[in-house]
Amino acid sequence: MSLVVVGSIAIDTLETPQGRANDVPGGAASYFAVAASFFTPVKMVGIVGSDFPRRELDWFASLGIDLAGVEVRAGKSLRWSGRYHEDMNVRDTLSFAANVFDAFAPELPEAYRDVPFVFLANIAPSLQARVLDQVRAPRLVGADTMNLWIDTARGELDALLRRVPLLMVNDEEARLLSGERNMVRAARRILAMGPESVMIKRGEYGALYFSGETVFSVPAYPLEEVFDPTGAGDSFAGGVMGYLARSGDVSPGGIRRAIVYGSVLASFTVEAFGLDRLRRLTRGEIDQRYRQFVSLTSFDVP
């Protein structure tokens, strides 16, 4: 089953303790779509400037990512630059320019409107809502957000949350959104805002899932070296939604497996700068790491 994603498609400059990458393709929708493409066809919605490399769009297309919903407009792509601290859970935004995103008004091609799985990656909540208005009867809608929108567009975000069954945020966003430091209490508060379920991404500490009385926890894959955490959360979301769209299984067991696939995709993304690790990733490697996750978390062994 197919999957629609809307979000940023960007040109990033990244600095981590391991090095630097200038002007590389990024953006939440890019990481999401590439990760999800290992499981299912993806329909992308976004906007790029004329400076976005054609070969990168061709690469997306070669992965089965439909670009009919991606507008190419004269001007510059969204540009973001970030620097990670020695503790890579902490990063500073050095610069941000929305550029062509300032004029973005998503218009879904007809073929996108009946798609059953929809993900609203990080973008202004009013734009996320605009996309949601255009899909007819989605089976599952997931969304992400960020500090910027929690601080500056709270009313629109609250309205969106009442329409989103699955929220995926990181721990800092969960705290800011809920006003609670403790993740269990934060999740309770978020569930009271509208979503039926929330997945909280915690970087090297893994991910938590809350739905009703259910709590599920997955560790991050233990890696000796993290090169660049950019896009880990978006790759996690892509793995989760991609697997759910592929299997069509949104049962409690299906959701748990999806969360492990999300963690697998995130663990690969951080192994190199930008999208580089995903460029050479194979489905075989994904399945192998999934099995390693199973043995990593099994404790009831003879």
Q: Minimum distance between the CB of residue 205 and ligand AMP, rounded to whole angstroms? A: 16
230 interacts with ligand AMP by CB under 6 A: yes
Q: Could you identify the residue written with the tokens 């979000």? A: 7
Q: Provide, rounded to whole angstroms, the least separation between the CB of residue 114 and ligand AMP.
A: 27
Distance (Å, whole) CA 119 – CA 181? 27
Site for ligand AMP contains 199 (CB under 6 A)? no
Round to whole Å and give the CA distance between 260 and 47: 30
The per-residue DSSP string of 67-133 comes to EEEEEEESSPPEEEEEEE-SSTT-EEEEEEE-GGGGG------GGGTT-SEEEE-SS-HHHHHHHHH
Interface stretch with ligand AMP, choices 42-50, 62-70, 126-134, 229-237 (CB under 6 A): 229-237
Cβ-closest position to ligand AMP: 26
H-assigned helices in the chain: 28-36, 54-62, 125-134, 147-152, 154-161, 171-178, 183-192, 232-247, 252-269, 276-279, 283-297
State which of residues 22, 50, 68, 96 lies at the interface with ligand AMP (CB under 6 A): 96
Applying CB under 6 A, among 12, 66, 171, 228 the residue interacting with ligand AMP is 12
**Are 39 and 65 spatial neighbours (Cβ–Cβ below 8 Å)?**
no
* Nearer of residues 81 and 292 to ligand AMP, judged by Cβ: 81
Residue 211 in the binding site for ligand AMP (CB under 6 A): no
Q: Is 8 in the site for ligand AMP (CB under 6 A)?
A: yes
173 in contact with ligand AMP (CB under 6 A): no
- Residue list 148-167, contact with ligand AMP (CB under 6 A): 148
Q: Which stretch binds ligand AMP (CB under 6 A): 230-238, 253-261, 264-272, 284-292?
A: 230-238
Chain positions 17 to 36 lying near ligand AMP, rule: CB under 6 A, are: 26-28
Amino acid at 116: P
Residues 42-78 as b or e (16 or more Cβ within 10 Å = b): bbbbbbbbeebeeebbeebeeeebbbebbbebeebbb
Site size for ligand AMP (CB under 6 A): 15
From residue 21, how far is each of 72, 140, 189, 228, 261 by CA, in Å?
Answer: 24, 35, 38, 10, 27
Under the binding rule (CB under 6 A), the answer on residue 238 touching ligand AMP is no
CB of 82 to ligand AMP, least distance (A): 7
Candidates 51-59, 157-165, 227-235, 244-252 — which segment interacts with ligand AMP by CB under 6 A? 227-235
Nearer to ligand AMP, 72 or 153 (CB): 153
Q: Apex CA 206: angle with CA 204 and CA 207, to 5°?
A: 145
Q: How far is the CB of 237 from ligand AMP (least distance, A)?
A: 9
Contacts for 133 with CB less than 8 Å, ≥ 6 apart: none
Tell me if 123 contacts ligand AMP by CB under 6 A: yes
Q: How far is the CB of 146 from ligand AMP (least distance, A)?
A: 6
Residues 274, 232 contacting (CB under 8 angstroms): no
Binding site for ligand AMP (CB under 6 A): 8, 10, 12, 26-28, 80, 96, 122-123, 148, 230-231, 233-234
